[in-house]
């Protein structure tokens, strides 16, 4: 077989899978595969156990792209706190991520991205790199060839406007009066996904204030025409949604000139109260870097000095997003994932044969129990009567527990034999009740909110980057269904509605779209185990179509992979990409759940995992297999390469875990608590 080229990106597509009857394959016989799997499982188990923190949690680095690092430097420059050590370390990391063509990508092996390249370039100018240096000149030429600064996304131009490199009046207007919109009104802040909501509220203050700090240097070299750096953008036809919202934006610009000062001041103060009320105990906002950055700027513009407790805690929280590498480089994480990593590590170790009462699993369960969120957050705006009980993704994020983490934590806790079973049962009961209460109208589940499906936020001229709403997804819904089945609720009407939604969402080729992981391999790897756990037989047509699709996209080397381009170029890239440990594991988890343990595809996949494992029990995975926003923002979870291969190997060696195969007759304790 020969590789082909995707003309839209110039990237090489991997060859299609070898046929199952291919007699030239060098895959070992089944007995050899079983021995190799057992050995790989032991080594991976030892590796993962050795990396547990003394407090009981696991956390891998969460790698995204250099815009996090560039914006961190720009924030410090804006606040006047940029120091030489930080600049040097950040610049070292940013330079190391530059591609041969002078650009920066948003994921490993991806194409150059305009906004990321502009932000990285500006950060290196702050670090002292001269514009005539070869690596800088190459980047600038590429930027100009693609429209210059004027073609970048809104968020990039906001950062540039802070220093006068772009005009505020040429940015979409974002009025702070938005904070007063009632929940029944379109475009109220709760119409936005929680991550967008936390970013937009502080940005309304920044947009109203329009601050400009003296630029330390010009950026003429990044404009296609320095004499006309802010060219007017064409209006879409008025009869279209885009055209309508562009005209609304023009009206908001006009309103800015006549808005009563007292009203605007009151709106900004209301936004400030909203921001401060949502600051977490560790000083951050929502456990993610972008809202924290904009919240610090907004409060600073409203008169909060850097020594104010709120500001000091916020800045200290941002420092905790820094990962210092051995070479002296400094990488900024967009977020940290200890709860997610810990529950997945617990599941992997238990499924790999670690005893349920192993001290490290008990310690992990203790830590997870202590992380349960027991107070209302923004989710309660839509569910005011629902008692809390979820888990968040991060160390501190009580305002935004998420449905996905909650489902997986319950599945993890069920695998541990804890010394205080009553405490575990109460925690699981709260989690199950909360997840059931967060079901959307269509029977499925989103990540953070209920029925967060308004079509309007995505239409705003301001929202030209990433997802800003949180509709239900197949992967989150599947994890909830899997958890409910493990709790004896497979036949509960609410679970059945989730199952019916999943069956209706299956793609024509047999796969499922992956919202929070890349992509159809992740979606399919999530849904198939859930459907089987909920009682669908392996012979069900939906399961057979999924199996056939996974077998059809298996790579010649026996692994599976999928490039992030599948979010944009579905037909060419669906299920296509270099084999990775995490994606191979997702495919195997689906095939094993579907009863394909003895199949050629499973043997080849297991053999690939065993053959690519390092001597220390780990796997290498430079590819990004996690998703923040499909295509726009991608994630390399450094622990994915460990927990998912170990889970797949463990299930191959030991069989499907009992927690997913038992079906409890009658009304279970979890059922009774869930009401």
Hey, which residues are catalytic here? Answer: 404
What's the CA gap between 488 and 663, in Å, rounded? 6
Tokens representing 90?
A: 């950040």
> 349 with 341: CB under 8 angstroms?
no
What is the longest distance spanned by two Cα atoms in the chain?
79
What is the number of residues in the chain? 675
> 377 with 401: CB under 8 angstroms?
yes
Full DSSP string of 207-261:
HHH---PPPSS--GGGSS-TTSSSPPPPPPPTTSHHHHHHHHHHHHHHHHHHS-H
5 beta partners: 12
> 554 with 605: CB under 8 angstroms?
yes
Q: Which residues contact 456 (CB under 8 A, 6 or more apart)?
A: 186, 187, 191
Rounded to the nearest 10 degrees, the angle between the axes of helix 194-209 and helix 289-301 is 30
What's the CA gap between 14 and 553, in Å, rounded? 10
Q: Which of 513, 503, 479, 471 is nearest to 631 (CA)?
A: 513
Alpha carbon distances (Å) from 353 to 38, 444, 466, 504: 10, 32, 40, 35
> 257 with 371: CB under 8 angstroms?
no
What's the CA gap between 303 and 373, in Å, rounded? 32
What's the CA gap between 658 and 644, in Å, rounded? 18
């Amino acid at each position: 077989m020969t590789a082909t080229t995707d003309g839209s990106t110039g990237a090489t597509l991997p060859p299609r899978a070898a046929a199952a009857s291919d007699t030239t394959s060098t895959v070992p016989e089944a007995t050899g595969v079983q021995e190799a799997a057992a050995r790989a499982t032991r080594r991976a188990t030892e590796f993962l156990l050795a990396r547990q923190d003394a407090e009981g949690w696991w956390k891998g680095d969460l790698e995204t792209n250099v815009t996090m690092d560039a914006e961190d430097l720009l924030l410090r420059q804006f606040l006047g706190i940029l120091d030489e050590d930080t600049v040097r370390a950040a610049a070292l990391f940013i330079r190391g991520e530059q591609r041969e063509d002078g650009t920066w990508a948003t994921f490993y092996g991806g194409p150059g991205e305009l906004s990321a390249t502009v932000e990285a370039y500006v950060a290196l100018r702050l670090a002292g790199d001269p514009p005539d240096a070869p690596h800088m000149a190459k980047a600038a030429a590429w930027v100009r060839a693609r429209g210059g600064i004027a073609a970048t996304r809104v968020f990039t131009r906001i950062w540039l406007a802070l220093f006068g490199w772009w005009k505020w009046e040429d940015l979409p207007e974002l009025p702070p009066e938005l904070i007063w919109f009632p929940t029944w009104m379109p475009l109220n802040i709760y119409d936005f996904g929680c991550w967008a909501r936390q970013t937009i509220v502080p940005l309304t203050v920044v947009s109203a204030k329009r601050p400009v700090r003296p630029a330390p240097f010009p950026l003429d070299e990044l404009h296609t025409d320095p004499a006309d750096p802010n060219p007017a953008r064409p209006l879409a036809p008025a009869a279209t949604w885009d055209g309508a919202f562009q005209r609304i934006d023009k009206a908001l610009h006009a309103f800015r000139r006549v808005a009563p000062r007292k009203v605007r001041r009151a709106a900004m103060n209301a936004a400030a109260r909203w921001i401060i009320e949502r600051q977490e105990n560790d000083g951050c906002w929502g456990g993610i870097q972008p809202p924290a950055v904009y919240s610090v700027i907004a409060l600073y513009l409203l008169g909060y000095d850097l020594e104010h407790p709120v500001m000091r805690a916020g800045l200290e929280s941002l420092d905790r997003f820094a990962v210092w590498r051995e070479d002296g480089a400094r990488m900024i994480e967009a977020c940290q994932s200890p709860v997610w990593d810990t529950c997945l590590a617990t599941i992997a170790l238990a499924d790999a044969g670690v005893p349920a009462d192993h001290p490290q699993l008990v310690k992990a369960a203790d830590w997870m129990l202590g992380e349960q969120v027991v107070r209302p957050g923004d989710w309660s705006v839509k569910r005011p009567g629902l008692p809390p009980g979820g888990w968040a993704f991060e160390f501190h994020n009580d305002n935004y527990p998420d449905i996905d983490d909650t489902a997986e934590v319950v599945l993890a806790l069920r695998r541990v034999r804890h010394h205080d079973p009553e405490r575990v049962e109460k925690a699981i009961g709260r989690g199950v009740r909360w997840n059931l209460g967060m079901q959307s109208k269509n029977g499925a589940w989103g990540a953070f909110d209920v029925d967060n499906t308004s079509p309007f936020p995505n239409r705003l001229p301001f929202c030209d980057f990433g997802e800003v709403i949180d509709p239900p997804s197949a992967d989150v819904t599947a994890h909830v269904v899997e958890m409910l089945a493990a709790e004896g609720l497979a036949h509960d009407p609410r679970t059945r509605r989730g199952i019916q939604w999943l069956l209706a969402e299956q793609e024509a080729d047999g796969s499922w779209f992956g919202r929070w992981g890349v992509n159809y391999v992740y979606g399919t790897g999530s849904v198939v185990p859930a459907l089987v756990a909920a009682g669908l037989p392996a012979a069900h047509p939906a399961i057979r179509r999924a199996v056939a699709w996974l077998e059809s996209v298996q790579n010649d080397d026996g692994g599976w992979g999928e490039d992030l381009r599948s979010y944009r170029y579905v037909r060419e890239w669906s299920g296509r990409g270099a084999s990775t440990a995490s994606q191979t594991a997702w495919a195997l988890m689906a095939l094993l759940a579907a009863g394909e343990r003895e199949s050629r595809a499973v043997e080849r996949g297991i053999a690939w995992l065993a053959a690519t494992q390092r001597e220390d029990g780990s796997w290498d995975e430079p590819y990004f297999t996690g998703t923040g926003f499909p295509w726009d923002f991608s994630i390399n979870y450094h622990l994915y390469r460990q927990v998912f291969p170990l889970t797949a190997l463990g299930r191959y060696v030991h069989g499907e875990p009992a927690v997913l195969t038992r079906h409890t007759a009658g009304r279970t304790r979890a059922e009774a608590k869930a009401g």
